[in-house]
Chain A
Amino acid sequence: MRPIPRSLRFRALLPLLGLVTVLLPGCTQGGLTSANNPDPEGAVRLALATNPPDLDPILISDTTSSGVGSKLFNTLLGYDAELNLVPELATAMPQVSDDGRTYTFELRAGVKFHNGREMTAEDFKYSLERLASGRSKRTNVVRPILGAEKAIEAGRTAGSTAIEGIRVLGPLTLEIELEKPYYPFLHLLSMENAAVIPREAVEAAGDGFSRQPVGTGPFVLSEWKENERLVLTANPDYFEGAPTIPRITMRVIKEAITRNEEYKAGNIDMVDITQGVLPQWRASDHSDEIRLYDQASILYYGFNLEKEGSPYAGFGDKARMLREAINRAVDREFICERIVDGRHSPINGIFPPGMPGHSDRAAFTQDVERAKQLLADAGYPGGEGLPPVDLWFNTQGDNGKIAAAIQNDLRAIGIEIVLKGLDWAAFIEATDRGEPAFFRLGWVADYPDPENFLYFLFHSANKGPNGNVSFYGNPEVDALIDQSYLETDAEKRLGLLRQAEEKILADWPWLFLTSAREGMLVKPYIRNFNPTPIDDDSAGGSQVDWREVRVVPETASE
């Protein structure tokens, strides 16, 4: 149609040229990216999937904040690599009074806050009492202490108030008296929430303390650009000696794909493995960098033992045999290897691997013949006369696939189950009410103590929403758990809890399934990074000893 002006031909390309010039500085500056290029100054670079909401110890209630907080703060007690309680800011494990109610802690001398002041017993009293204030998210940590209820009541309207049971006996001596003997209290004291912080820093910053926290920990928070990045610098005055690495930088990268790309490019040193991508990582150049470690959690399908009309309910021999038959019929290996890519392993009891109390008995395995025999013994040969049962589960992740695999295994011995998938909120409401006869659930340890599993999941005092949604009630088990609270000898205590576990296993109240593993990729030049079963994959875990973590470039290690 119209003649094409020649001069326009090239001028029209100008915008493209403009684009190229925008990109050009990158070409000249970027240089080669290699997958293994540690930070030149030896810092460790992490990515966070979320911005930590709060770093004030009394507000920490999520894994990211607790991961960051653990590097900034210290508590009276901590854990060793086997998750045994060990002294942290205390010089030794506390003296316990004969009635088991009073603990006396001697504190380390010369521990300095990031602001340079030395820590004293008064600081601990102040920090623990803050947990009772109206602003605290974690009043439960101090609740077992004598007089805490009253302080919490007062704390709703006034600021933090004194707790009767916390007493300063000397500059470095702290006494805590409990309402009644409660050994797990020592675990509560080792949570980041119970960290020591300096009063003057809180009073100067007010609510802003959560954005500029001051502790005694191995790292100091030196920069926090909300939703962008945090920089933790090594604390040269740390009481156990300064960390080896100069710095930990944490970039907030919400998108998993972007985190993975940054990891491949060598811009971050660790990355979490999100659901479903493990096979891709295995097939990639990074397969040697995959780290799977046990997580203190269990997955089970519970039977509601008080459900009326359910053949699986109650403690009669027939019901027990039926429940055992189901346990024998299921192929846990298949679930672990084929459905979740090896991110689960079959369990052998209630306490998951890596937890104190975990037994060395063999894991539950499939035995179809035995299952059929049990079914026949229970009066339902080949499943004849056994009504189909609904299996309730929340439809997240691989739950549906696992349920289908189990449905298949049970069908093979003649038991019909009907899958009933719900969203989490609706599901948990129904299980709390005790509506389903058969349901999927899991439990992640709050603290590494078998009591945390037994008390909440099996003590008859916790039937319903508190955790015992199988409505399991066994006076013998209750008695053993109750007795464990009074026992101060760690070995004897563990013995009691193991006995309780044996008794529960004999009743087959659950279909015992698997325990999960956390997955991360860690660059080979990061050394001494050893997550424990209670470490989350975010913010470099909360129990890892970051003072020991080192960055050793490949060439230097040879």
Chain B
Amino acid sequence: MLTYVLRRLLGVIPVVLLVTLIVFTMNANIPGDPGRIRLGQRADPAQVEAFNFKRGYLDPFLVQYVRYLGFAPSRIYADHATFDEVAGEETAREAQALLSRDGVTLSELEGFAEAHDLGVTEFRGRGLLYASRFRGVLQGDLGESDVKAGKRVGELLGTSFLVTVRLALGSILIAMLLGVGAGILSAVRSRTWIDYSSMVLAIIGVSMPVFWLGILMIMFVAPPLGLPRSGLDDSSLLQTIRHLALPCTALGLISSATIARLTRSAMLDVLSQDFVRTAKAKGLRPRVVILRHALRNASIPIVTVVGNSFGYLLVGAVLTESVFALNGLGSQIVESIVQRDKMVITGGILIMSLIFVSVNLLVDLSYGLFDPRVRHGRG
């Protein structure tokens, strides 16, 4: 079991490398120059070039990628905020003074750099001082936003990830309760009005755009129940639940439809098998037959679809987040794509891929819990 988990965890590394490489390649090729985005449409071209140079965007693609991962030091220039941190406040002030002086020569800068353990380079005929340090994905740093000055990518994504996790957990809970419940009921009472009506509802659920359902809930469900219409107030557990009730229900209802349909067919399969008949013949109560014997045997496909839905809820709740004004991971990434905030895009997709890999791993591991016939780690 342990070796299985370890092997799976090792398998995450190439996946993540591949994902970041793909995103990096795409980012490098989509239109949108980081300097121009940061400095505005009418920015002075020389200023844009200087920005891109300092951020390393003028370096070859592979250099940027290796640096992003944290295998190569990144350069921080004397007028950059974090320079102080790396070079020390006093050195930073001296460096700044030296650079601002008229007619400072490259050799002067070289002398200063050597004395203070700094690097020196030339850009457009002017010497530039830089400090350097390793900070990349390996060191747990996803870099700095290109668009939002002074905002770390990790911080941006971390906050919205927390929102999304709560939203997804609430939704999957509702989806499971409703979906599995309705699925069992339909299977047990197959071809009755209960079955037909719950399956019609499920089809409506599958086809209903979550965006629309959300708007309807804001308009017609929130007022009579006195629930907040949008936003998130997490000052207390109660407030969090109140604020997430509608979005979780909207998302949950939609996912429950798929789960219900799958549960129904899996249950129908199992219910027609011999051991169910035997169990009934033994005189077991119907509840025990259905919940303990049948449901357990039907659980593998159900767990799979619940796990997948959870993964999608974590990354794909953009529309729900937008209607209910929640700052979730999905909308954060969509915003960064619209704004061409490349560092946030890359970091966001990296986190999404990690989420998918981990949810898959958890789902695979949970099979053993539901069905003892599944064993990991052999063969």
A residues sitting closer than 8 Å to B (CB atoms) are: 1-5, 7-8, 11-12, 14-16, 18-19, 22-23, 25-27, 29-33, 51, 53-54, 56, 59, 61, 133-137, 139-140, 152-162, 205-211, 225-229, 251-255, 257-258, 261-262, 265, 267
User: A56 and B178 in contact (CB under 8 A), knowing A157-B99, A225-B327?
Assistant: no
- B178 and A19 contact, CB distance less than 8 A: yes
User: A133 and B79 in contact (CB under 8 A), knowing A7-B287, A159-B96, A226-B156?
Assistant: yes
Nearest A residue to B44 via CB reads: A139
- B325 and A1 contact, CB distance less than 8 A: no
Nearest Cβ on chain B to A452's Cβ, whole angstroms: 15
- A5 and B290 contact, CB distance less than 8 A: yes
Q: A29-B226, A159-B99 are in contact. List 7 more A-B contacts (CB 8 A).
A: A5-B285, A29-B238, A206-B81, A206-B84, A211-B151, A257-B218, A261-B222
- B249 and A134 contact, CB distance less than 8 A: no
Nearest A residue to B328 via CB reads: A227
Contact residues in B for A33 (Cβ distance below 8 Å): 223, 226
How many pairs, one residue from A and one from B, have CB atoms within 8 Å of each other in the complex? 211
B residues sitting closer than 8 Å to A (CB atoms) are: 38-40, 42-44, 46-47, 50-51, 54, 78-82, 84, 96, 99-100, 123-124, 126, 128, 144, 147-151, 156, 159-160, 170, 174, 177-178, 180-182, 184-185, 188-192, 215, 218-219, 222-223, 225-232, 238, 241-242, 245, 248-249, 271, 285-287, 290, 322-325, 327, 331-332, 335, 339
Instruction: Give the complex CA separation of A139 and B40 in angstroms.
Output: 11
Instruction: Give the complex CA separation of A156 and B325 in angstroms.
Output: 39
Contact residues in A for B285 (Cβ distance below 8 Å): 5, 7
Contact residues in A for B46 (Cβ distance below 8 Å): 153, 156
User: A4 and B225 in contact (CB under 8 A), knowing A14-B181, A22-B245, A255-B325?
Assistant: no
- A207 and B150 contact, CB distance less than 8 A: yes
User: A258 and B327 in contact (CB under 8 A), knowing A32-B226, A61-B40?
Assistant: no
- A261 and B81 contact, CB distance less than 8 A: no
- A18 and B40 contact, CB distance less than 8 A: no
Contact residues in A for B190 (Cβ distance below 8 Å): 1-2
Contact residues in A for B229 (Cβ distance below 8 Å): 258, 261-262, 265, 267
- B147 and A53 contact, CB distance less than 8 A: yes
- A227 and B51 contact, CB distance less than 8 A: no
- A56 and B223 contact, CB distance less than 8 A: no
Instruction: Give the complex CA separation of A18 and B31 in angstroms.
Output: 49
Nearest B residue to A203 via CB reads: B84
From B188, B228, B249, A19 is in contact (CB under 8 Å) with B249
Instruction: Give the complex CA separation of A25 and B84 in angstroms.
Output: 50
- B150 and A258 contact, CB distance less than 8 A: no
Contact residues in B for A23 (Cβ distance below 8 Å): 225, 227, 245, 249
- B177 and A228 contact, CB distance less than 8 A: no
- A12 and B184 contact, CB distance less than 8 A: yes
Nearest A residue to B335 via CB reads: A227
- A205 and B150 contact, CB distance less than 8 A: yes
Nearest A residue to B170 via CB reads: A22
Contact residues in A for B47 (Cβ distance below 8 Å): 134, 136, 139, 152, 155-156
User: A209 and B225 in contact (CB under 8 A), knowing A225-B327, A227-B331, A254-B325?
Assistant: no
Nearest Cβ on chain A to B84's Cβ, whole angstroms: 7
Contact residues in A for B242 (Cβ distance below 8 Å): 25-26, 29-30
Q: Which 4 A-B pairs have the closest CB atoms?
A: A30-B226, A206-B81, A5-B286, A207-B150
- B290 and A8 contact, CB distance less than 8 A: yes
Contact residues in B for A26 (Cβ distance below 8 Å): 225-227, 242, 245
- A137 and B43 contact, CB distance less than 8 A: yes
Contact residues in B for A15 (Cβ distance below 8 Å): 177-178, 180-182
Contact residues in A for B177 (Cβ distance below 8 Å): 14-15, 18-19
Nearest Cβ on chain B to A40's Cβ, whole angstroms: 16
Contact residues in B for A136 (Cβ distance below 8 Å): 39, 47
- A226 and B148 contact, CB distance less than 8 A: yes
Contact residues in B for A30 (Cβ distance below 8 Å): 225-228, 242
User: A2 and B188 in contact (CB under 8 A), knowing A156-B50, A210-B149?
Assistant: yes
From B79, B219, B271, A159 is in contact (CB under 8 Å) with B79
Instruction: Give the complex CA separation of A540 and B303 in angstroms.
Output: 50
Contact residues in A for B148 (Cβ distance below 8 Å): 53-54, 210-211, 226
- B223 and A265 contact, CB distance less than 8 A: yes
Nearest Cβ on chain B to A500's Cβ, whole angstroms: 25
Instruction: Give the complex CA separation of A158 and B98 in angstroms.
Output: 9
Contact residues in B for A53 (Cβ distance below 8 Å): 147-148, 339
Contact residues in B for A252 (Cβ distance below 8 Å): 325, 327
From B51, B156, B159, B331, A134 is in contact (CB under 8 Å) with B51
Contact residues in B for A226 (Cβ distance below 8 Å): 148, 151, 156, 159, 327
Nearest Cβ on chain B to A399's Cβ, whole angstroms: 21
User: A258 and B331 in contact (CB under 8 A), knowing A14-B181, A30-B226, A157-B128?
Assistant: no
Nearest Cβ on chain A to B326's Cβ, whole angstroms: 8
Nearest Cβ on chain B to A135's Cβ, whole angstroms: 7
Contact residues in B for A25 (Cβ distance below 8 Å): 238, 241-242
From A19, A54, A158, A262, B230 is in contact (CB under 8 Å) with A262
23 intermolecular pairs with C-beta atoms under 8 Å apart:
A2-B271, A5-B188, A8-B184, A8-B185, A8-B287, A11-B287, A12-B185, A15-B178, A25-B238, A32-B226, A54-B149, A134-B50, A152-B44, A154-B100, A156-B124, A157-B50, A157-B123, A158-B96, A225-B159, A228-B231, A254-B331, A261-B219, A265-B222
Nearest Cβ on chain B to A30's Cβ, whole angstroms: 2
Contact residues in B for A228 (Cβ distance below 8 Å): 231-232, 327
- A207 and B188 contact, CB distance less than 8 A: no
Contact residues in B for A137 (Cβ distance below 8 Å): 38-40, 43
- A210 and B241 contact, CB distance less than 8 A: no
Nearest B residue to A212 via CB reads: B150
Nearest A residue to B231 via CB reads: A251
Contact residues in B for A162 (Cβ distance below 8 Å): 100
Contact residues in A for B227 (Cβ distance below 8 Å): 23, 26, 30
- A22 and B287 contact, CB distance less than 8 A: no
Nearest B residue to A134 via CB reads: B50
Instruction: Give the complex CA separation of A505 and B242 in angstroms.
Output: 61
From B128, B150, B178, A210 is in contact (CB under 8 Å) with B150
- A22 and B322 contact, CB distance less than 8 A: no
Contact residues in A for B82 (Cβ distance below 8 Å): 206-207
Instruction: Give the complex CA separation of A228 and B184 in angstroms.
Output: 40
Instruction: Give the complex CA separation of A27 and B241 in angstroms.
Output: 12
Nearest B residue to A32 via CB reads: B226
Of A4, A32, A255, A267, which is in contact with the most chain B CB atoms at under 10 Å from its CB? A255
Instruction: Give the complex CA separation of A140 and B42 in angstroms.
Output: 10
- B325 and A157 contact, CB distance less than 8 A: no
Nearest Cβ on chain A to B7's Cβ, whole angstroms: 37
Contact residues in A for B271 (Cβ distance below 8 Å): 2
- B241 and A22 contact, CB distance less than 8 A: yes
- A257 and B332 contact, CB distance less than 8 A: no
Contact residues in A for B324 (Cβ distance below 8 Å): 258
Contact residues in B for A134 (Cβ distance below 8 Å): 47, 50-51, 54, 79
- A7 and B286 contact, CB distance less than 8 A: yes
- B149 and A56 contact, CB distance less than 8 A: yes
Of B54, B147, B231, B339, which is in contact with the most chain A CB atoms at under 10 Å from its CB? B231
Contact residues in B for A154 (Cβ distance below 8 Å): 100
Contact residues in B for A16 (Cβ distance below 8 Å): 178, 181
